[in-house]
């Protein structure tokens, strides 16, 4: 398997940090042991934990006001795969890439070959019927799968079926559908009719799904439509998954809710009714900000993982959520942001594994609110960095991914090879 950053360089960076890490790991191990927790068992689970990188995340993002490209941005999906390979090499937490079609359209066999050079696989396929592709016959300006015009709906269905076809060659096992359909003005759209059209179109997409695939529908409260969206919340999303069938699940993008919504409870509900498909991890302050996971409210991320670990440990039937990042990096090097975001997601998982669930249950049953919440806090307050770093070291990654990345000078190297792309225009990537 090929490495983009020299393995010697990673080894050298690790060698300088290894002795301190071993001391920190032993010290944390002793403290966890006092709590009845075996640190190696937690590390084993962390090593197996993976989160997919969105291909669109390795380019510099932007807002509707402007986009300020960084140096050495990927020019095409093959450059993007190389950037994803760097993230995986240093974190060992991101073995798969999630593609967006048509942005990443290329010969599927070539794509497969490019990824396998670096040991990368492909996660869920993402369709795009929220913007118009070049030379597209009918516009999605007024919607796609829920469009009033049957021809436009047909085109959107065909596009989703094409994404499934590409994904079959790549070894993907899921299709994520997020639509921009909705309205900007009261009265613009008949809510019931639009939802009916969406369901009918999605039934056609679902019918094209291979037996071992899953269909993820992603809800979002607003944007690009600002008055109503067709798939606005988890309740609507749950109805969709119920209507479509056993292979249909709800995808929770953390940024797609109103501020302060109790997302961890939504997660619990979807687990309970076997319809949690997976996540788009990111963080937000005000809306769908697509900020780095754990950068604004790490406690919320922990509380989401508290529900996930609870389901994992209790052996909830059919529980197998997909983990994906979905972020827009406007002011940072996307590779650095994605590496740290993957680590933040891992961190929340590790912390949630430390919750004393037996004690928590006792406090819940005896209505001891204070001790119940302190039980969660005790896990959350634990600095699990030595566990994460040791997991990376043992699997061939970097103890400090950002330091190793900077030492390797990767961004400067690709900046010399990849001509600068034009900035200026607004653009979600």
Residue 255 C-beta: closest distance to Mn ion, Å: 7
Task: Give me the least distance between CB of 280 and Mn ion, in Å please.
Answer: 4
Residues that bind Mn ion (CB under 5 A): 253, 280, 326
In whole angstroms, the minimum distance from the beta carbon of 125 to Mn ion comes to 14
Whole-angstrom distance, CA of residue 399 vs CA of residue 11: 10
**351, containing H or E segment:** helix 334-353
Q: How far is the CB of 253 from Mn ion (least distance, A)?
A: 4
283 vs 326 by CB, closer to Mn ion: 326
CA–CA dist 114, 169 (Å, integer): 13
The residue (of 56 and 405) whose beta carbon lies closer to Mn ion is 56
| Cβ distance to Mn ion smaller for residue 89 or 282 | 282
* Gap between the Cα atoms of 278 and 299, Å rounded: 19
Using the minimum distance from each CB to Mn ion, give the nearer residue, 185 or 226: 226
Q: Give 292 or 326: the residue with its C-beta nearer to Mn ion.
A: 326
Helical H segments across 72-190, by residue range: 77-91, 108-116, 150-170
CB of 176 to Mn ion, least distance (A): 8
Tokens 């010969």 sit on residue:
107
> What is the side-by-side order of every strand in the sheet holding 96-98?
53-54, 96-98, 121-122
Give whichever of 123 and 400 is closer to Mn ion, judged by the CB atom: 123
Shortest spacing between CB 96 and Mn ion, in angstroms? 16
Q: How far is CA 344 from CA 15, 35, 102, 259, 350, in A?
A: 23, 23, 30, 21, 10
Q: State the angle between helix axes of 263-272 and 298-313 in degrees (0 to 180), rounded to the nearest 10.
A: 20
* Shortest CB 54 distance to Mn ion, Å: 8
Residue 368: both structure tokens together: 């001891």
Do 288 and 256 form a contact (C-beta atoms < 8 A)? yes
Closest CB to Mn ion among residues 256, 411: 256
Cis peptide before 102 (omega within 30 of 0): yes
Q: What angle do CA 185, 187, 192 make, to 5 degrees?
A: 115
């Amino acid at each position: 398997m090929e490495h983009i950053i020299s393995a010697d360089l990673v080894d050298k960076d690790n060698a300088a940090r290894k002795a301190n890490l071993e001391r920190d790991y032993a010290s944390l191990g002793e403290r966890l042991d006092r709590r009845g927790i075996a640190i190696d068992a937690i590390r084993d689970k962390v090593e197996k934990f993976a989160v997919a990188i969105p291909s669109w995340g390795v380019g510099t993002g932007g807002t509707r006001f402007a986009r300020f490209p960084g140096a050495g941005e990927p020019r095409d999906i093959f450059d993007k795969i190389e950037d994803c390979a760097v993230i995986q090499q240093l974190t060992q937490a991101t073995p798969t890439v999630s593609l967006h079609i048509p942005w990443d359209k290329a010969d599927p066999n070539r794509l497969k070959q490019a990824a396998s050079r670096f040991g990368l696989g492909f996660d869920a396929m993402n369709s795009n019927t929220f913007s118009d592709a070049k030379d597209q016959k009918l516009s999605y300006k007024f919607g796609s799968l829920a469009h009033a015009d049957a021809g436009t709906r047909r085109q959107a269905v065909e596009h989703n079926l094409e994404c499934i076809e590409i994904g079959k060659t790549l070894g993907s096992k899921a299709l994520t559908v997020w639509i921009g359909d909705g309205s900007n003005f009261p009265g613009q759209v008949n809510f019931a009719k639009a939802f009916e059209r969406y369901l009918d179109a999605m039934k056609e997409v679902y019918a094209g799904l291979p037996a071992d695939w899953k269909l993820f529908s992603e809800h979002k409260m607003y944007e690009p439509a600002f008055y109503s969206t067709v798939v606005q919340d988890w309740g609507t999303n749950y109805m969709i998954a119920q209507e479509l069938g056993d292979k249909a699940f709800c995808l929770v993008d953390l940024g797609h809710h109103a501020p302060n919504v109790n997302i961890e409870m939504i997660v619990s509900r979807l687990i309970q009714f076997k319809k949690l498909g997976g996540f788009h991890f990111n963080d937000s302050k005000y809306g769908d900000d697509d900020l780095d996971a754990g950068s604004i409210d790490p406690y919320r991320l922990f509380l989401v993982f508290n529900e996930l670990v609870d389901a994992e440990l209790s052996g909830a039937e059919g529980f197998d959520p997909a983990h994906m990042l979905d972020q827009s990096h406007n002011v940072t090097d996307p590779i650095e942001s994605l590496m740290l975001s993957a680590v933040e997601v891992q961190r929340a998982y590790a912390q949630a594994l430390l919750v004393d669930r037996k004690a928590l249950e006792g406090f819940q049953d005896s209505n001891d609110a204070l001790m119940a919440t302190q039980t969660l806090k005790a896990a959350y307050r634990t600095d699990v960095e030595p566990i994460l770093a040791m997991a990376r070291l043992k699997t061939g990654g970097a103890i400090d991914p950002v330091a190793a990345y900077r030492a390797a000078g990767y961004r400067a190297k690709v900046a010399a090879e990849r001509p600068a792309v034009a900035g200026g225009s607004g653009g979600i990537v």
